[in-house]
Amino acid sequence: MSKAFYVTTPIYYANAEPHMGHAYTTVVADFLARFHRLDGFDTYFLSGTDEHGEKIFQAANQAGMDPQQFCDRISQRFRDAWQVLDISHDDFIRTTEERHKAVVLRLLEALYAGGDIYYDEYEGLYCVGCERFLTDKELVDGQCPDHLRAPESRREGNYFFRMEKYRGWLRSYIRDHPDFIRPAGYKNEVLALLGEPIGDLSISRPKGRVPWGIELPWDAEHVAYVWVDALINYASALGFPDGARYRTYWPVAQHLIGKDILKPHAVFWPTVLKAAGVPLYQHLNVGGFLKGHDDEQKMSKSLGNVIDPFEMAKKYGSDAVRYYLLKDTVYGQDSSIGEQFLIERYNADLANDLGNLLSRVRALLTRHTDGVLPAPAQQEADQAIIAAGTALVGQVRSLVGRLRIFEALETVLQFVRQLNRYFNDEAPWKLAKAADGRERLGTVLYNIAEGLRIVSVLLEPAMPTKARQVRTDLGLGDYAFADLEAWGQAAPGTKIPAKAAILFPKSAAGKAKRQSPSKKEAAQVEQISLEEFAKVQLRVAEVKAADKVAGADKLLKLTLAVGDETRTVVSGIAPWYQPAELPGRKVVLVANLKPAKLRGIVSEGMILAADDGAGHLVLVGPEQDIAAGTEVR
């Protein structure tokens, strides 16, 4: 039996148009779904819309529409958006569907029958934006930090679920399953929340006030609270409790959410499942925010334009937008995005590194091998490419398994750059002119084509259309990840098509290209003399140990070997690097910087990193191995 994979997006409120935040979570989910399909998993991918509750009811009233018709319209907008972005969901659930309502009733009945429901009067602070009561601790200056509004004081009779009763159990469960909520920062947040009483959960609204919802099975004067209704979609779409899909996919359910809806997913949902006697989902994957134009607080002026994914998809193609969203964000963290960065990514990775290589190899194949993939005669000089190409799928699988998606894509792109270097070093255009160069020419061109085959399959989850185009342009069909572990699966003799459109036309990105901030900055930057530069002492250092700094999310304390000396450096790289991955790495140290105290630790220097200002940072190190302590000039 094949392995199963089930991934869900949040179901989106049917009260407003889809925007980039929704697109982001959905593109990540689509990436994972496509990735697992190619990796041989029996995959199910669910998205949908959340259509009940006070917020939707108010929005429909304001639009002067019947709530169901209002939801029909917005739900369709989400489906249209997912089509534009090439989202491959297997199902799209709406909470106003009968198949969903039936499961909600069933689960509520189970809670009621289990004695976990009681009726009480309640008074609290309610945020309609969040559709939940907020605790005093969650408020910032008296306001909901996500919706920047003061919550309303509410007093009403509600049915309650005995959530507090399950707090201790949930706390232990999360401790015993360290991968249940990831990245770990969010797990710790939930554990902290569970360190204090969480109270019981109001699970109903009086119908007199909120008529738009599912009536409780035991009291028709109340409707189910929208969060309890909505969370159940993940099980109802599978045909809970007897459906074959439920049996196959529920044990491996992975939810993808934004950090704003952590509490309902990490606290309400598992406790409800536990009380109803249903096993828990497997993983809760929590993403950060994209900083976008719909929230001024999250916008950064210095970054220029923010992007609307649908407008961008029209301009640059859906694949470029998907690739950009996946490559320029660190899953789990907030990221700033902008059109300018998309253009830079498009030009550098897609048009130059990938697109140019494809068109160069096609041109030489057409000209010198009759448009046919030649049979290779591998030599020593080809072994590095072969080893790197066949190792790639394992590396990418491991990174994606840890949700390090941008690193997985960067690993593939590094191999594309290696192929470009191989192409330039072997200079097939010169081989074509040499009297005895034919065989070598054929081998080099074959290896580039084979490398591009592997690359295209690994990029397919991010860019389904363009990745297939790479293969079509080389006369190749579809492959699974299992076909990437051995070199040589592009069959020699394959005829490549005579004509092909340019993979990533520069014009698309070129037209909109403004002067990049870096160039502008470069023009304004003060120039220094060689003597001034010589004052800076740069040295290669080896990381011996890396530790988190208590109370500082961004800082790591590094112990560095610099020749015979040991130095301590505090560096703000924690959002990008885990302490465990650093020991053994060589970095570049500014060795004569005046020591400074950070969080009580004396930092003796600074290490260099490249930072694109868009949330992507990589350490700078020597290109080949060299002794720690060596001077960098």
Interface ranges with ligand MSP (CB under 6 A): 10-13, 21-22, 24-25, 50, 230-231, 233, 257-258, 260-261, 289-290, 292
Residue 530 CB contacts under 8 Å (≥ 6 apart), including other chains: none
Distance CA 85, CA 250 (A): 26
Q: Which residues, 6+ apart, have CB-to-CB distance to 436 below 8 Å?
A: none
E strand map for 471-620: 538-549, 552-562, 565-571, 586-590, 596-598, 601-603, 606-607, 609-611, 617-619
What's at 352, amino acid-wise? Answer: N
Q: CB of 186: closest distance to ligand MSP in angstroms?
A: 12
CB of 25 to ligand MSP, least distance (A): 4
Residue nearest to ligand MSP (CB): 21
For residues 235 and 549, which CB has a smaller minimum distance to ligand MSP in the complex? 235
Tell me how far apart the 2 most distant CA atoms of the chain are, in Å. 92
The residue type found at 237 is: A
Alpha-helical runs (H) found in 294-369: 309-316, 318-327, 339-345, 357-368
**Shorter beta-carbon distance to ligand MSP: residue 257 or 476:** 257
Q: Judged by CB, which is closer to ligand MSP: 268, or 576? A: 268
Positions marked active-site: 19, 22, 127, 130, 144, 147, 298, 301
Cβ closer to ligand MSP: 261 or 343? Answer: 261
Least Å distance, CB 263 to ligand MSP, is: 11
**What is the nearest approach in angstroms of ligand MSP to the Cβ of residue 185?**
16
- Please say which residue, 47 or 411, places its beta carbon nearer to ligand MSP: 47
Distance CA 79, CA 82 (A): 5
- Least distance to ligand MSP from the beta carbon of 225, Å? 12
CA nearest to 204, candidates 196, 187, 216, 190: 216
Cα separations in angstroms, 630 against 209, 400, 533, 589, 621: 73, 35, 17, 10, 12
What is the rounded CA–CA span in Å between residue 426 and residue 444?
7
* DSSP secondary structure of 263-284: HIIIIIHHHHHHHTT-PPPSEE
Read off the tokens for 49. Answer: 């819309």
Smallest distance, Å, CB 128 to ligand MSP?
12
Contact by Cβ (8 Å): 345, 612: no
Pick 54 or 450: Cβ nearer ligand MSP: 54
Minimal distance in Å, beta carbon 304 to ligand MSP? 18
Q: Residue 11 has what DSSP assignment?
A: P
Q: What number of other Cβ atoms are within 10 A of residue 62's Cβ? A: 10
Rounded distance between C-alpha atoms, residue 350 and residue 556, angstroms = 33
Residue 13 or 44: the one with the smaller Cβ distance to ligand MSP is: 13
